[in-house]
């Protein structure tokens, strides 16, 4: 039934008519680009207010070539994987970027699917890609389209992309391994992930270099992020019951670090006395484990803030930086690696 109000929205033309001026005057009254007499301005504004006028953003963008929006893409693994651990990482990063953008009053747009041409094009002036893979296809696509790009964490295959924020894994992971060593670890094993991104690559490299410098053989095992907790537990059990079992494990994801703690408990291994455990990302899994697990916090908030700042600078026409912005991961030492009283 009945007479719903017409949905056709009011345009600059309606305002012009009502204020008895030309459309260009209306436009200028709002943009302030050229001087308008006091009286005219007032007429325009009140006409606009009475009519409930709002500029059509698409028309404006079409004309100016800019939308005032920044896109955000998080590589799929997060959105797909649904463990609590991954969600926390995803939420923290998305939340931080959103908060930061809100603070600066710039619209943020989650790009749904750059690969699907049907929904591929969103009106964005630039795009932030977080945690790209090596030779990332989204990065390639954006470069091809000439969309101003900032990456949060570098694409490991494109270390020379200067518009990037990166984490200094070398310092942090070295610090962690030194700590384990200092606490008496003799046989450290790294359980690395299978995702081909900076996080896995750089932490592996740092571990390898550290072992080399300390005259140890770099023992590494793959523990894919796609594993279920159960399968992970099986693999960990095998590792911990093997002949020369490690006395310290560094696990990429914190949910699997918690799995290690659980398996250790089952096997009667005391943490940290018999086995030390550390994670390369922090989450509630590591904080709530018994004992709480030492972890490297990836400083998502700082990554987000730096990424947003870089993007806005880029859009404002800043000069190309010489090198990526560096953010430090933060080591959170907890009971799982504290053998010596009073140590960090």
Binding site for its own copies (CB under 8 A): 5, 7, 9, 30, 52, 54-62, 67-69, 79, 87, 90-92, 94-96, 98-99, 101-103, 105-113, 116-117, 119-123, 144-146, 284, 287-288
Residues in CB range of 144: below 8 A, 6 or more apart: none
Q: From DNA, its own copies, none, which one binds at residue 110 (CB under 5 to 8 Å depending on kind)?
A: its own copies
Task: Give least dist CB 109 to its own copies, A.
Answer: 5
The only residue of 42, 46, 59, 84 in contact with DNA, by rule CB under 7 A? 59
Q: Which residues pair with 327 in a beta bridge?
A: 167
Nearest partner of 253 among 208, 194, 172, judged by Cα: 194
Q: Which of 55, 98, 109, 161 binds DNA (CB under 7 A)?
A: 55
Which residues, at least 6 apart from 140, have a Cβ–Cβ distance to it below 8 Å?
none
* Binding-site partner at residue 105 among its own copies, DNA, none, CB < 5 to 8 Å by type: its own copies
Shortest distance in whole angstroms from residue 245 CB to its own copies: 31
Whole-number minimum distance, CB 25 to DNA, in Å?
Answer: 4
Selected range binding DNA among 37-45, 90-98, 247-255, 264-272, rule: CB under 7 A: 37-45
Number of Cβ within 10 Å of residue 61's Cβ equals 15
Q: What residues contact residue 65 under an 8 Å CB cut-off, 6+ apart?
A: none
User: In 3D, which of 269, 241, 262, 336 has the Cα closest to residue 296?
Assistant: 336
The owner of tokens 């009053």 is: 105
Contact 47, 22 (CB under 8 A): no
Q: Is the distance from CB of 83 to CB of 291 less than 8 angstroms?
A: no
> 76: which residues sit within 8 A by CB, 6+ positions away?
none
Exactly one of 27, 192, 206, 286 binds DNA (CB under 7 A); which one? 27
Query: At closest approach, how far in Å is the CB of 160 from its own copies?
Result: 17
Answer with the entry of its own copies, DNA, none that 20 interacts with (C-beta below 5 to 8 A by kind).
DNA
- Which of positions 63-82 make contact with DNA (CB under 7 A)? 63-64
The span from the CA of 241 to the CA of 134, in Å, is 35
Taking the complex as a whole, how short is the minimal distance between the CB of residue 95 and its own copies, in angstroms?
A: 3
Q: How far is it, in rounded angstroms, from Cα 217 to Cα 127?
A: 42
Nearest residue (CB) to its own copies, 73 versus 223: 73
Helix (H) or strand (E) holding 164: strand 164-167
CA 265 – CA 290 distance, rounded (Å) = 9
- Torsion, Cα 85 90 96 102, to 10 degrees, reads -140
Nearer to DNA, 40 or 171 (CB): 40
The only residue of 46, 49, 56, 343 in contact with DNA, by rule CB under 7 A: 56
Query: Which residue's CB is nearer to DNA, number 59 or number 318?
Result: 59
Does 34 engage in binding with DNA (CB under 7 A)? yes
Of DNA, its own copies, none, which one does residue 27 interact with (CB within 5 to 8 Å by kind)? Answer: DNA
> What minimum distance in Å lies between the beta carbon of 116 and DNA?
15
36: partner contacted, choices its own copies, DNA, none (Cβ within 5-8 A by kind): DNA
The binder of 99, among DNA, its own copies, none, by C-beta within 5 to 8 A per type, is its own copies
Question: By C-alpha distance, which of 284, 298, 336 is closest to 83?
Answer: 284
Asked whether 253 and 259 are in contact (CB, 8 A), the reply is: no
Q: Which is nearer to its own copies, 120 or 222 (CB)?
A: 120
Could you tell me if 225 and 253 are in contact, meaning their C-beta atoms sit under 8 angstroms apart?
Answer: yes
Q: Which residues bind DNA (CB under 7 A)?
A: 8-9, 11-13, 20-25, 27-28, 30-31, 33-37, 39-41, 53-56, 59-60, 62-64
């Amino acid at each position: 039934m009945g007479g719903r109000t017409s949905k056709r929205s009011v345009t600059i033309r309606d305002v012009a008519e009502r204020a008895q001026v030309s459309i260009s005057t209306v436009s200028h009254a709002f943009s302030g680009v050229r001087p308008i007499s006091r009286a005219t301005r007032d007429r325009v504004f009140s006409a606009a207010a009475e009519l409930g006028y709002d500029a059509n953003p698409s028309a404006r963008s079409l004309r100016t070539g800019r939308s005032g929006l920044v896109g955000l893409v998080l590589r799929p693994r997060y959105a797909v994987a649904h463990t609590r651990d991954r969600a926390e990482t995803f939420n923290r990063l998305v939340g931080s970027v959103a908060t930061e953008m809100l603070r600066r009053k710039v619209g943020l747009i989650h790009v749904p699917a750059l690969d699907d041409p049907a929904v591929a094009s969103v009106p964005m002036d630039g795009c932030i890609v977080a945690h790209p893979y090596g030779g990332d296809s989204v990065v390639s696509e954006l470069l091809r389209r000439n969309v101003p790009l900032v990456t949060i964490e570098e694409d490991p295959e494109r270390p020379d992309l200067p518009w990037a924020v990166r984490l200094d894994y070398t310092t942090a992971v070295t610090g962690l391994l030194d700590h384990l060593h200092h606490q008496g670890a003799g046989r450290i094993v790294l359980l690395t992930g299978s995702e081909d991104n900076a996080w896995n690559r750089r932490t592996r490299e740092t571990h390898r270099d550290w072992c080399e410098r300390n005259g140890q053989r770099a023992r590494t095992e793959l523990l894919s992020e796609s594993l279920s907790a159960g399968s992970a537990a099986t693999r960990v059990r095998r590792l911990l019951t093997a002949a020369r079992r490690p006395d310290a494990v560094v696990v990429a994801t914190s949910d699997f670090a918690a799995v290690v703690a659980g398996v250790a408990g089952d096997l009667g291994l005391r943490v940290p006395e018999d086995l030390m455990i550390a994670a390369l990302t922090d989450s509630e899994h590591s904080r709530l484990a018994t004992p709480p697990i030492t972890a490297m916090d990836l400083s998502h908030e700082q990554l987000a803030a730096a990424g947003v700042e870089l993007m806005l600078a880029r859009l404002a026409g800043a000069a190309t930086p010489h090198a990526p912005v560096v953010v430090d991961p933060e080591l959170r030492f907890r009971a799982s690696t504290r053998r010596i009283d009073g140590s960090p």
